[in-house]
Amino acid sequence: KQEVTQIPAALSVPEGENLVLNCSFTDSAIYNLQWFRQDPGKGLTSLLLIQSSQREQTSGRLNASLDKSSGRSTLYIAASQPGDSATYLCAGAGNTGGFKTIFGAGTRLFVKA
Amino acid sequence: GAGVSQSPSNKVTEKGKDVELRCDPISGHTALYWYRQSLGQGLEFLIYFQGNSAPDKSGLPSDRFSAERTGGSVSTLTIQRTQQEDSAVYLCASSPRTGYEQYFGPGTRLTVT
């Protein structure tokens, strides 16, 4: 059974700092891993999707990596801005027993101006 | 183009009543997912549809929950005999096909009194 864990649960950083959010998963038979952000009271916005055959994906100031062998993914945010304040969720889609997606509990990020 | 839409945005119902939640996926997306997010909790997978294949119902918490997808497009999640613990935000997502990026709707906030 796939379990996804995110560390830290909450993070507060000053504006301009680079930061890393961590995601670990127990089942390496993962089809893809997706990072989302969720603003309070809102739905989820997709940030990056990494297929199992890929090692990383980049979009603007965001870089996500995937290491299946160690069961880890990281989301790197460069030069953080107050607008980056949100909850960041990672989700793993498995290819054993179906393609259901398992989410981590999220990391709540606060970037101070 | 239009994103994933869900209706209603908010629903308040009395314990024991049945409710129907609707999801309109992005046109052409063959995969559709339902999730539940309880207060302070992560996203919980409920059910997944892919094209005309049998849905993956492994996440439905009880037999009071059911979902259907008509014509490979619109989906309805039905909760019978609602209980207070069913109070949550119900999120729908669609994807071009299995294993691709998921796009989320704004959710339906269900409150059972």
The model's pLDDT over A5-15, given as tens digits with 9 standing for 90+, comes to 999 999 999 99
More confident residue, B41 or A19: A19
Q: Output the pLDDT for position A34.
A: 94
Asked if pLDDT for residue A74 goes beyond 90, the answer is: yes
Query: In whole angstroms, what is the distance from residue A50 CA to residue A57 CA?
Result: 6
Asked if pLDDT for residue A35 goes beyond 70, the answer is: yes
Mean pLDDT on B96-105 = 87
- Select from A36, A51, A100 the Cβ nearest to the Cβ of B45: A100
More confident residue, A42 or A48: A48
Tens digits of residue pLDDT in B7-43: 999 999 999 999 999 999 999 999 999 999 998 778 9
- Chain B residues with CB-CB distance to A44 below 8 A: 43, 91, 93, 104
**Cβ contacts of B96 within 8 Å, gap of 6 or more:** B28, B29, B30, B31
Q: Output the pLDDT for position A18.
A: 97
8 A C-beta contact, residue B3 and residue B103: yes
Asked if pLDDT for residue A25 goes beyond 70, the answer is: yes
More confident residue, B56 or B89: B89
Q: Kindly state the DSSP code that residue B55 receives in the 8-state scheme.
A: P
Asked if pLDDT for residue A97 goes beyond 60, the answer is: no
- Chain A residues with CB-CB distance to B58 below 8 A: 97-98, 100
Q: Output the pLDDT for position A42.
A: 83
Mean pLDDT on B62-83 = 94
Mean per-residue pLDDT of chain B: 92
Q: How confident is the model at residue A29 (pLDDT cuts 50, 70, 90)?
A: confident
- Chain B residues with CB-CB distance to A32 below 8 A: 99
Asked if pLDDT for residue A98 goes beyond 70, the answer is: no
The three-state secondary structure class of B39 is coil
Q: How confident is the model at residue A54 (pLDDT cuts 50, 70, 90)?
A: very high
Mean per-residue pLDDT of chain A: 92
Q: Is the dihedral of CA A51, A53, A58, A59 positive or negative?
A: negative
Asked if pLDDT for residue A55 goes beyond 70, the answer is: yes
- The full length of chain A comes to 113
Asked if pLDDT for residue A95 goes beyond 70, the answer is: no
- Select from A43, A89, A98 the Cβ nearest to the Cβ of B56: A98
